[in-house]
Chain A
Amino acid sequence: MKIINLIILPVLLFLTGTTIAQQTPAPEQSRAVTIVGATAHIGNGEVIENSLIIFENGKITTVTDANSTKRQYPGTIIDAKGKHVYPGFISPNSTLGLVEIDAVKQSDDEDELGELLPHVRSIIAYNAESQVVESMRPNGVLVGQITPRGGRISGTSSIVQFDAWNWEDAVLREDDGIHINWPNSVRRGRWWAGEDPGVKPNDDYEKDIRTVSEFFSNARAYLAGPQEIANLPFMAMQNVFDGKQKIYIHADGEKELMDILQFKRDHDLEHVVLVGAYSAYKIADQVKAANVPILVGRVHSRPNHEDSHYDLPYKMAYLLHQKGILVGLESSGSMERMNSRNLPFYAGTVTAYGASKEEALQMITLNTAKILGIDDSLGSLETGKDATLFISEGDALDMRTNKISQAFIQGREISLESHQTQLAKRYTDKYGQEEKI
């Protein structure tokens, strides 16, 4: 195996130079893999020192204390003593694969024209061969929820794994939810147009909410009726009302979040997830009571207000977790795609500002899987789940020690090379620095 790689890689490099698209996806798992001796971070808060992890045919079959069994280890045995095993990190509310280069409009497929677009589906635009997507993997980010942007109802997201020939192969959960950008009760001046960049009340707020509310009411009525004329947006709401798709509502303001909870009650919606939810810590009890989980906005960001605690974005996820809310971390914002690989470090920062390491880990693994509704197969190192996991030399939440030696998606050992590692190799070779990198 290793010898083959050594031969193939330079050939590939020679053939494709720096324009290579993506690493070739790994073939299906044909042989069992046993990882022994690692500290296993299960993803549900538990840790097993000196663990034994076995997976076959893409599924985890054993996760236990290595000392507790004397059975023979099957398949390829990886001695991971002193290393750490984690479930693959999950990046929710992501636009990975929808845009390649921010400033190149031609490479941008994240925002469709229109306001109420539940029928618009991100999955068919997902570029499985994106160079940005492959750069996630050396940091342990192996799964993402590919989400459209813009409009009032942006469209429908899908969940993918990051090692695939095409979008169809990549899909883990197709059309998992719709995304609503909740109206804003305030509006910010457009400073680039010479306006004061401060906040002013948005006079259209109630009207904007009515638009969403009426859309929901009308769609429900339409779906209950004979549906004489096809209405694509209404038809796309069927799975939402059936509870098969979740409703992700993106909002930050306190008033907005309160109104969303009311909207949930008014329309009797079961699966609502708040995204961003900057002010949720102020109304955490109501959010908890409504049993609504939160995908907390980017940890590495500045507070929205001048007077806020400087560490508010750092500690926010933990504040909400302490209140008993199910919390995951997301990374939308400026330069969101390339920044998604910092997801583990967002969790690291949450640790520095309150949470335990395992609590913070849950926020990018099992909690997120639960929120996205994929915890039956992902999010933790548990028997029966997908063998989507990786081995790190050290603590994967800390940039000092997040060094991934092997990663598996559904049992397939994926390449950790990328456009970036290839360029690095090319130039370290040029300078004779190969020993150092």
Chain B
Amino acid sequence: MRIRFLFCLLFSAVTGLQAQEYFPKNDAVKAEVNTNFTVFKNANIHVDPSNVINGGMLAVRNGKVTAVGKNIKVPANAVVVDLKGKTIYPSFIDLYSNFGIEKPKGQNGSPYSGNPQYDADREGYYWNDHIRPETAALESFKYSDSEAEKLRKLGFGVVNTHMPDGIVRGTGMLVALNSQGTEGDRILDERSAQFLSFDKSAKSRQVYPSSKMGAMALLRQTYLDADWYAKGNSQTKDLALQAFNQNKNLLQIFKTDNLLDELRADKIGDEFGVQYVIVGSGKEFERLDAIKATNATFVVPVNFPAPFDMEDPYIASYASLADMKEWNQAPANLKMMAEKSIPFSITSQDAEKNFRENLIKAVEYGLDKKSALAALTTVPAKIIGKENQLGTLKEGAWANFLITSGDYFDKETTIYENWVQGKRSVIEDINLVSINGTYDVNVAGNTYEVKISGEATKPKAEVKLNNNKIGSKLNYKSNWLNILLSAPDTTKAEYTRLSAKVPEDPKSFSGKAILGDGTETTFTATRTAEASEDKKKKEDEHPEVLPVTFPNMGYGFERLPKQQNILFKNATVWTSEDAGILENTDVLVRNGKIAQVGKNLSARGATEIDATGKHLTAGIIDEHSHLAASAVNEAGHNSSAEVRMEDVVDPDDIGVYRNLAGGVTTMQLLHGSANPIGGQSAILKMKWGASPDEMIFSNSPKFIKFALGENVKQANWSSNSRFPQTRMGVEQVFVDYFTRAKEYESLKKSGKPFRKDIEMETLLEILNGERHITAHSYVQSEINMLMKIAEQYGFKINTFTHILEGYKVADKMAEHGAGGSTFSDWWAYKYEVKDAIPQNAAIMHNAGVTVAINSDDAEMSRRLNQEAAKSVKYGDISEEEAWKFVTINPAKLLHIDDRVGSIKEGKDADLVLWTANPLSVYAKPEKTLIEGVVYFDIERDRELREEVEKQKNLLATQMLKAKNNGLKTQAVKETKKEEMHCDTL
């Protein structure tokens, strides 16, 4: 009673505090300003995550902490609040927020519907509308107390808000969620950080960038251009670049949507000497080593997925192990990050209402409370450079703190109050007496057993009379308890009403009772048992967490496989070399290389594999693939030479595993064919389980995709605003770009200042023979044209890919020195392939062209051996030569034939052991090795199939149990990668 009175006093006293000293005041006397202290005593004070003062004292004045300790001097002008065993925490800080800022409504729609917009809307700013560094959160910020209250209830006192729109999003601001002050009080820093992402602005329909790799290229160019601008080289004003340069020294916060994007963001930062703070996805645990290697600090959401509703077994069968595992493992993400010493703070983004529940779940899954508290307080405070003012309760810090009934990470704990800048916000009544426990309630000669449990503010009752359960309803507010009891005879609509004011210690109390017949009497309640403590049991209750695999999906490796020394004995060896096909031959693999090819080899320490009756070949090389990519086309410009497929490698594509099962070990990941000048290729080894960067062929030769014909002139979809629309225009695109590249080169060589342009640099590499072209092409006219262009500019077209009319100009290709990488038998799917013939590969080969058979298709790529064999059928190519079409020939076309593509001593041990002649439709790979590592083994596959089933069953049971326990479920959905081809936009 006394305390409440004091609080009322305090409340009225502090409201006048915010008036700033130099403003005139007309509604009262100015001398109303409150300079009293508030001192809290008998509290367990978490000064910071490492320091707890039990039964300590905290003094606050003018919004700041003035003293904290076991025993501090209480000033005379102090209001003292006795917290009696309650707990005080520093209020939390959310570094990623758009509090008070409305996200603009999208207007970009699909960039491919109708005629896309290629130019920017704005003038005087950067050429790309998605670069908006000049945006200041301050301009659109509007404090909303109802929104602030939601955050305060979760425990937050300060948020770092921004305009969540665009690739470069401009500056954010640090705001205290002070319910009573003015913006002048709340704004702690109006330029707290610069925000970035890979997502385009909703305010513009400008189509570039249409892809992830385009967004990455754009960011790189922005950094270069900003530098150019900073040096005073620009002739015109660019308010965006100007702002970008002004923001350069701020904290840089990068928002991502998934794990791969986190790695991508960091990669860009590394290139420009910027260490981003990365707003993560919650899936960091899937590749902790790569995450750790970024050296970044993360801001991690706690938005765990709901379990699938697995009750309908038909629908349930669509759930993938990957999605099911995500539900199972995601709550352990923070624990795993902490164990790996990866620094992180926590954001409430995406979790909102479930924030505290999920946070507690993370603790149940093993996150230590100290790390959890640090991630909400000291870590973000340090990131934002305010470790002395925020996230701690030491002297001089902002008086931002929570008062709770106990441990924040305990479900039963109530958060009573959240003080921000010394201003109190009440969340729950602190004087509320917890009435949880079991009571004997005596009313009119009956003794009811009443068990009260649940949250202290919303308790529930279970009532028994003579061991029979009877209906009841309990209402508890401001220490007034009302219970409605049904009659033991359920056929009677008679109710007994009880009402009592609960005393501070509720071990026995009495109140008024009104019986069913209206008689008023009294009742007494005597506590017979305290609230039961079965928390310990609950903590162990979370389902068993399955091990993370690489990749974290079906058929992943629990431990990444290691190089082995292997001796294949007595195989038929298809060398893809002049040596031809060798019967009864041994091949020794050592340290990832082919060490020896010969008869009767022996090697100590090598695992011997009896390959009698089996065939051993070099791994298949697919010259044209779109597997393992997060995106294929940057369709926003007619040239996208600046984009890199290496930026968008996605190692979590089941296609990688299936291709290993088809004997594929290397592939060229190509940009699509949406534009005449596409993007830079990635050459990948199919290292299942590896990180994106580990999949990239080491020291790969440089390639770029060009494209001709129907796709680049956009003939097969409705768009007619982009040049070129005809094959005539395609030629001019090349002339234009190469001419500009030449001019760029002369300027660069002249020693005068020049604006570094990634696109031009790439084209220069082509002109200088440092980057090879793979040109998507179909009809003879355009093939001829491109060779003429190359000759005019003094370079060679390395490879024509698809090249279905290559047979019509095979002599010209041979003379030019271009290779042909083609489909075995595809045709008639569009007008430009009506003259495609299955003899194409053979005719080109016979004309002296280096020929490969490629897939451009995740299905066909796993049967490229069969596709090669079709040249035996249609073109009478010898089997030995046909096999080269998928091994050494594509290696030659990719300029990696010194390392892969054949069985030769010293080359990478990328090998496939087949059950039969590899060109035969009856052949199956039994083992596929890359650099001496067995990535596919048909025996292991059998075990994995069982493992996948076993794990899915286990998870399905866990999910059903979760549903039974009342957890909210979501409908089963199958997330699926789209199948990508050249023309996938």
Measured CB to CB, the residues of A under 8 A from B are: 18, 100-104, 131-132, 185-186, 188, 191-194, 196-201, 253-255, 300-303, 305-307, 309-311, 335, 337-338, 341-342, 345, 348-349, 351-353, 397-403, 420-421, 423-424, 427-428, 430-431, 433, 436-437
Residues A423 and B321 in contact, CB atoms below 8 Å apart: no
Residues A400 and B872 in contact, CB atoms below 8 Å apart: yes
Closest to A350 in B: B921
Residues A310 and B846 in contact, CB atoms below 8 Å apart: no
Query: Among B318, B834, B837, which residue has its beta carbon within 8 angstroms of that of A424?
Result: B837
Q: Which of B844-876 contact A (CB under 8 A)?
A: 846-847, 858-860, 862-863, 866, 869-870, 872-873, 875-876
Q: Which residues of A contact B50 (CB under 8 A)?
A: none
Query: Among B554, B839, B872, B921, which residue has its beta carbon within 8 angstroms of that of A307?
Result: B554
Q: Which residues of A contact B985 (CB under 8 A)?
A: 192
Query: Among A102, A306, A349, which residue has its beta carbon within 8 angstroms of that of B976?
Result: A306
Chain A binder among B417-425, B789-797, B806-814: B806-814
B175 interfacial by beta-carbon distance below 8 Å? no
Give CA–CA (A293, B531) in the complex, Å.
Answer: 65
Residues A307 and B320 in contact, CB atoms below 8 Å apart: yes
Query: Among A186, A338, A349, A433, which residue has its beta carbon within 8 angstroms of that of B846?
Result: A433
**Contact A101:B834 (CB < 8 A) given known A198-B975, A302-B859, A399-B873:** yes
Give CA–CA (A353, B921) in the complex, Å.
Answer: 10
Measured CB to CB, the residues of B under 8 A from A are: 110, 314-315, 317-318, 320-322, 553-555, 654-655, 657-658, 661, 710, 716, 807-808, 810-811, 825-831, 834-835, 837-839, 842-843, 846-847, 858-860, 862-863, 866, 869-870, 872-873, 875-876, 879, 917, 919-924, 941, 945, 948, 952, 971-979, 985
Closest to A255 in B: B314
**Contact A397:B320 (CB < 8 A) given known A103-B716, A104-B831:** no
Q: Which residues of A contact B976 (CB under 8 A)?
A: 188, 197-199, 306
Residues A437 and B875 in contact, CB atoms below 8 Å apart: yes
**Contact A302:B314 (CB < 8 A) given known A103-B710, A103-B831:** no
**Contact A305:B318 (CB < 8 A) given known A131-B828, A200-B973, A437-B842:** yes
Give CA–CA (A197, B917) in the complex, Å.
Answer: 38
Give CA–CA (A100, B972) in the complex, Å.
Answer: 40
CB-defined A-B contacts under 8 Å, sample of 23: A101-B829, A103-B831, A185-B315, A198-B973, A199-B972, A199-B974, A201-B972, A307-B948, A310-B657, A310-B661, A310-B941, A335-B826, A338-B828, A338-B829, A345-B866, A349-B863, A352-B921, A352-B922, A398-B869, A399-B869, A421-B837, A433-B846, A437-B846
Residues B110 and A420 in contact, CB atoms below 8 Å apart: no
Give CA–CA (A106, B830) in the complex, Å.
Answer: 12
Closest to B553 in A: A306
Q: Which residues of B contact A186 (CB under 8 A)?
A: 315, 318
CB of B943, distance to nearest CB on chain A (Å): 12
Give CA–CA (A305, B831) in the complex, Å.
Answer: 33
Give CA–CA (A303, B317) in the complex, Å.
Answer: 14
**Contact A351:B922 (CB < 8 A) given known A431-B847, A433-B846:** yes
Residues B320 and A300 in contact, CB atoms below 8 Å apart: no
Residues A423 and B835 in contact, CB atoms below 8 Å apart: yes
**Contact A436:B831 (CB < 8 A) given known A199-B974, A424-B843:** no
Q: Which residues of A contact B657 (CB under 8 A)?
A: 310
Q: Which residues of A contact B941 (CB under 8 A)?
A: 310
Residues A424 and B828 in contact, CB atoms below 8 Å apart: no
Closest to B865 in A: A399
Give CA–CA (A430, B807) in the complex, Å.
Answer: 10
Q: Which residues of B contact A341 (CB under 8 A)?
A: 825
Closest to B827 in A: A338
Residues B866 and A338 in contact, CB atoms below 8 Å apart: no
Number of A-B contacts (CB under 8 A): 176
Q: Which residues of A contact B921 (CB under 8 A)?
A: 345, 348-349, 351-352, 397-400
Query: Among A101, A305, A428, A431, which residue has its beta carbon within 8 angstroms of that of B974?
Result: A305
Name the 8 nearest CB pairs between A and B, nearest first. Answer: A348-B921, A103-B830, A424-B839, A199-B974, A255-B314, A307-B554, A420-B837, A198-B974
Closest to B838 in A: A420
Q: Which residues of B contact A311 (CB under 8 A)?
A: 661
User: Max chain A CB contacts within 10 Å: which of B110, B846, B873?
Assistant: B873
Q: Can you name 7 extra interface pairs (CB under 8 A) apart from A201-B972, A420-B827, A431-B846?
A: A18-B835, A201-B315, A300-B860, A306-B554, A310-B862, A310-B941, A421-B839
CB of B258, distance to nearest CB on chain A (Å): 13
**Contact A427:B322 (CB < 8 A) given known A397-B921, A436-B876:** no
CB of B756, distance to nearest CB on chain A (Å): 35
Q: Which residues of B contact A337 (CB under 8 A)?
A: 828
Closest to B314 in A: A255
Closest to B659 in A: A310
Give CA–CA (A305, B843) in the complex, Å.
Answer: 39
**Contact A427:B810 (CB < 8 A) given known A103-B710, A400-B872:** yes
CB of A277, distance to nearest CB on chain B (Å): 15
Residues B826 and A420 in contact, CB atoms below 8 Å apart: no
CB of A333, distance to nearest CB on chain B (Å): 9
Residues B829 and A103 in contact, CB atoms below 8 Å apart: yes
Give CA–CA (A104, B710) in the complex, Å.
Answer: 12
Give CA–CA (A222, B828) in the complex, Å.
Answer: 43
Residues B318 and A199 in contact, CB atoms below 8 Å apart: yes
CB of B685, distance to nearest CB on chain A (Å): 19
Q: Which residues of B contact A307 (CB under 8 A)?
A: 320-321, 553-555, 948, 952
Residues A301 and B859 in contact, CB atoms below 8 Å apart: yes
Residues A100 and B828 in contact, CB atoms below 8 Å apart: yes
Closest to A436 in B: B846
User: Max chain B CB contacts within 10 Å: which of A103, A191, A253, A342?
Assistant: A103
Residues B973 and A196 in contact, CB atoms below 8 Å apart: yes
Q: Which residues of A contact B110 (CB under 8 A)?
A: 193-194
CB of A411, distance to nearest CB on chain B (Å): 26
CB of A89, distance to nearest CB on chain B (Å): 14
Residues B866 and A399 in contact, CB atoms below 8 Å apart: yes
Q: Which residues of A contact B710 (CB under 8 A)?
A: 103
Give CA–CA (A424, B825) in the complex, Å.
Answer: 13
Closest to B915 in A: A352
Give CA–CA (A132, B838) in the complex, Å.
Answer: 13
Residues A436 and B922 in contact, CB atoms below 8 Å apart: no
Residues A185 and B920 in contact, CB atoms below 8 Å apart: no
CB of B663, distance to nearest CB on chain A (Å): 12
User: Max chain A CB contacts within 10 Å: which of B827, B831, B948?
Assistant: B827
Query: Among B655, B862, B924, B978, which residue has its beta carbon within 8 angstroms of that of A352?
Result: B924
Give CA–CA (A420, B873) in the complex, Å.
Answer: 14
Q: Which residues of B contact A348 (CB under 8 A)?
A: 921-922
Give CA–CA (A302, B263) in the complex, Å.
Answer: 30
Give CA–CA (A338, B824) in the complex, Å.
Answer: 12
Closest to A397 in B: B921
Residues B320 and A398 in contact, CB atoms below 8 Å apart: no
CB of B154, distance to nearest CB on chain A (Å): 29
Give CA–CA (A20, B944) in the complex, Å.
Answer: 53
Residues B842 and A436 in contact, CB atoms below 8 Å apart: yes
Query: Among A100, A196, A400, which residue has its beta carbon within 8 angstroms of that of B975?
Result: A196
CB of A12, distance to nearest CB on chain B (Å): 18
Give CA–CA (A196, B860) in the complex, Å.
Answer: 25
Give CA–CA (A104, B830) in the complex, Å.
Answer: 7
Give CA–CA (A428, B810) in the complex, Å.
Answer: 10
Q: Which residues of B contact A420 (CB under 8 A)?
A: 827, 837-839
Closest to A418 in B: B837
Give CA–CA (A197, B654) in the complex, Å.
Answer: 16
Q: Which residues of A contact B654 (CB under 8 A)?
A: 306
Give CA–CA (A351, B554) in the complex, Å.
Answer: 27
Q: Which residues of A contact B807 (CB under 8 A)?
A: 423-424, 427
**Contact A132:B828 (CB < 8 A) given known A310-B941, A351-B922, A400-B919:** yes
User: Max chain A CB contacts within 10 Å: which of B321, B322, B948, B973?
Assistant: B973
User: Max chain B CB contacts within 10 Å: which of A186, A193, A403, A427?
Assistant: A427
CB of A356, distance to nearest CB on chain B (Å): 11
Q: Which residues of A contact B835 (CB under 8 A)?
A: 18, 423
Residues A352 and B923 in contact, CB atoms below 8 Å apart: yes
